[in-house]
């Protein structure tokens, strides 16, 4: 079984990772010496192969391999992001991109009632999917409990949090939990959090986009650790 990637960045990251099975391009000047099978096709053909801006590059690639949670563990300065019911593929792609740029150790989401990796996620991630460990689990609560046993502290993000996001000492192995766009974290997941933090809201809108919030929180953790 193969997947589709499209867009210039995603295409060439998949090429570097050795995942391309067959490439379809408007122009072969950048790939004819790359040692991969390809076809030069028209724009209409590429438009029919994907949903989104392909920038002249579409490829069938080897199926994306999910990681295991245990492959994400570290003894010190660990950072894992858990997504609790995220629904928007663009948010997932953007969060994976941010996690890779920030050097996070992995992204975890649940296997039901949640967005999953697909070609749009790969496009939005701009190639980061090739390098970021992504795990799918059936039960987030059980996964969180296992991570606690491994020495991780669980920090959830929610508007009801009693602490501000920058009030915590992040000098610990951290799991950052981001809730769904509409409902936030589920009750059971929130109950497992060691800390629940909030981002201050000064305007009339009461919440940030999930991927924007995740970016602020992730880089706040990095900033703290670099002091």
For the segment 116-124, the average pLDDT, to the nearest whole number, is 91
For the segment 25-37, the average pLDDT, to the nearest whole number, is 95
pLDDT at 159: 87
Q: Which domain holds residue 35?
A: 2-62
CA distance 59 to 70: 31
| Residue whose structure tokens are 């508007």 | 159
Q: Does residue 101 sit in the same domain as residue 201? A: yes
C-alpha 17 chain-centroid distance = 18
Using one digit for the tens of pLDDT, what is the confidence trace for 148-190? 999 999 999 998 898 999 999 999 999 999 999 888 999 999 9
Residue 26: is its pLDDT beyond 80? yes
Question: What confidence category does residue 1 fall into, taking pLDDT thresholds of 50, 70 and 90?
Answer: very low
Using one digit for the tens of pLDDT, what is the confidence trace for 46-64? 999 998 899 999 999 998 8
Please count the structural domains in the chain.
Answer: 2
Percent of the chain topping pLDDT 90: 87
Q: Does residue 32 sit in the same domain as residue 137? A: no
Q: Does residue 162 sit in the same domain as residue 97? A: yes
Nearest to 64 by CA among 114, 153, 127, 9: 127
Task: Give the domain-ending residue among 28, 62, 96.
Answer: 62
pLDDT at 63: 86
> CATH code at 140?
3.40.1280.10
Using one digit for the tens of pLDDT, what is the confidence trace for 196-206? 999 999 998 87
Percent of the chain topping pLDDT 70: 99
Q: Does residue 7 sit in the same domain as residue 50? A: yes
Task: Give the domain-ending residue among 16, 34, 62.
Answer: 62
Question: What confidence category does residue 2 fall into, taking pLDDT thresholds of 50, 70 and 90?
Answer: low
Q: Does residue 191 sit in the same domain as residue 92? A: yes
Task: Give the domain-ending residue among 19, 39, 62.
Answer: 62
**Mean pLDDT estimate for the chain:** 94
End-to-end CA distance of the chain: 46
Q: Does residue 101 sit in the same domain as residue 150? A: yes
Q: Does residue 145 sit in the same domain as residue 48? A: no
Q: Does residue 195 sit in the same domain as residue 83? A: yes
């Amino acid at each position: 079984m193969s997947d589709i990637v499209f867009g210039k960045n995603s295409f060439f990251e998949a090429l570097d990772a050795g995942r391309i099975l067959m490439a379809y391009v408007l122009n072969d000047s950048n790939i004819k010496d790359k040692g991969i099978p390809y076809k030069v096709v028209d724009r209409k053909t590429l438009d029919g192969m994907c949903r989104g801006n392909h920038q002249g590059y579409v490829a069938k690639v080897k199926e994306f391999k999910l990681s295991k949670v245990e492959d994400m563990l570290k003894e010190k300065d660990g950072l894992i992001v858990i997504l609790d019911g995220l629904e928007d593929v663009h948010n997932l792609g953007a969060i994976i991109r941010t996690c890779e740029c920030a050097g996070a150790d992995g992204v975890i989401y649940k296997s039901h009632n949640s967005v999953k990796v697909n070609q749009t996620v790969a496009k939005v991630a701009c190639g980061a999917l090739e390098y970021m460990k992504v795990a799918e689990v059936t039960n987030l609560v059980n996964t969180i409990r296992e991570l606690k046993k491994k020495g991780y502290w669980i920090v959830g993000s929610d508007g009801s949090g009693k602490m501000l996001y920058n009030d915590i000492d992040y000098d610990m192995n951290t799991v950052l939990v981001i809730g769904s766009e509409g409902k936030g974290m589920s009750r059971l997941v929130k109950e497992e959090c060691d800390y629940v933090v909030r981002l201050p809201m000064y305007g009339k809108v009461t919440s940030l986009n999930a991927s924007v919030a995740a970016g602020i929180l992730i880089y706040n953790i990095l900033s703290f650790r670099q002091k």
